[in-house]
């Protein structure tokens, strides 16, 4: 998810008992391995794969170490979501900062969206969808998931508003979250690469046309206007912004 300049004002998702501890370098490495192991397991097998024993085996740590860092499974779930949001935000901020034109901003945004969806450390929506299966198991997990949704939504809406000089980034955020949620479902349930390719191409078209509707002044930029026209007229799902490896 994109990040904003006000990261310091965002309340952490992880419990205070985990966030407030001062850790040695070894402790930080142990904590990071546990989070990475949890994200990989969730990506490969969903919430059902997120057992304490499986995490400890993959991270090569003891159960005592896991409980020391996170308190319980809900604490780990919150930390996993927070880390995924943070890493995704960092990479979005880095990838979009030097894009000077509206079309370049959108091209970079599309490329990053696809890139992050392929990485278990940054596929935040798939992590949250997997965690939804654990919401019935634990009230704490359900609460962590609710905070994560609000956190990710607020960051994304603020980023869209800033990038495209909008009073409110809510519309683009709703479109983006609807897409990435469905894309995660398709990726999980379909083996047809063409289905994901067509879905992503349609998403590009919708976002281009929506940004143009929200900011008609951007059509004064000939490159952006040409991309919007191509998106509106494109047969099937292809657009001029689609790349060979989408």
Domains of the chain: total: 1
Determine if the pTM surpasses 0.75.
Answer: no
Task: Let me know if residue 90 belongs to a domain.
Answer: yes
Task: Let me know if residue 196 belongs to a domain.
Answer: yes
Question: Between 230 and 97, where is the model more confident?
Answer: 230
Average pLDDT, whole number, for the chain?
Answer: 80
Tell me: the pLDDT tens digits for 1-41? Answer: 444 434 433 334 444 344 444 567 788 889 999 999 999 89
Task: Let me know if residue 44 belongs to a domain.
Answer: no
In angstroms, the CA 211 to CA 229 distance is 13
Token pair belonging to 14: 């992880």
Which residues, at least 6 apart from 13, have a Cβ–Cβ distance to it below 8 Å? 78, 79, 81, 82, 85, 144, 147, 148, 151
- Rg of the chain over Cα atoms, rounded to whole angstroms, equals 19
Task: Let me know if residue 2 belongs to a domain.
Answer: no
Task: Let me know if residue 43 belongs to a domain.
Answer: no
Tell me: the pLDDT tens digits for 75-88? Answer: 888 888 888 888 88
pLDDT at 211: 94
pLDDT at 145: 83
Q: Is the pLDDT of residue 243 over 50?
A: no
Task: Let me know if residue 185 belongs to a domain.
Answer: yes
Percentage above 90 pLDDT, the chain: 26
pLDDT at 20: 44
pLDDT at 97: 74
State the pLDDT confidence band at 116, using cuts at 50, 70 and 90: confident
Q: Is the pLDDT of residue 226 over 90?
A: yes
Q: Is the pLDDT of residue 127 over 90?
A: no
Task: Let me know if residue 100 belongs to a domain.
Answer: yes
Mean pLDDT of 38-55: 88
In which domain, by residue range, is 160 found? 7-11+81-233
Tell me: the pLDDT tens digits for 137-177? Answer: 788 888 888 888 888 889 889 888 988 889 999 999 999 98
């Amino acid at each position: 998810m994109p990040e904003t300049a006000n990261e310091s004002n965002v309340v952490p998702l992880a419990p205070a008992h985990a966030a407030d501890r001062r850790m040695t370098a070894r402790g930080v490495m142990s904590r990071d391995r546990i989070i990475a192991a949890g994200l990989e397991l969730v990506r490969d097998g969903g919430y059902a794969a997120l057992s304490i024993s499986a995490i400890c085996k993959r991270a090569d740590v003891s159960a005592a170490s896991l409980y020391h860092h996170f308190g319980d499974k809900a604490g780990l779930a919150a930390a996993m979501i927070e880390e995924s949001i943070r890493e995704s935000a960092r990479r979005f901020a880095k990838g979009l900062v030097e894009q000077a034109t509206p079309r370049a901003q959108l091209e970079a945004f599309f490329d990053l969206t696809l890139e992050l969806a392929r990485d278990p450390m940054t596929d935040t929506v798939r992590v949250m969808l997997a965690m939804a299966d654990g919401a019935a198991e634990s009230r704490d997990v359900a609460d962590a998931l609710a905070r994560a949704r609000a956190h990710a939504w607020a960051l994304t809406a603020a980023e869209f508003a800033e990038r495209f000089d909008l009073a409110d980034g809510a519309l683009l955020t709703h479109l983006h979250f609807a897409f990435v949620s469905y894309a995660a479902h398709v990726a999980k349930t379909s083996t047809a690469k063409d289905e994901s390719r067509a879905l992503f191409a349609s998403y590009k078209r919708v976002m281009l046309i929506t940004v143009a509707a929200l900011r008609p002044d951007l059509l004064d930029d000939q490159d952006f206007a040409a991309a919007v026209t191509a998106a509106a007229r494109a047969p099937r799902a292809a657009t001029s912004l689609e790349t060979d490896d989408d």
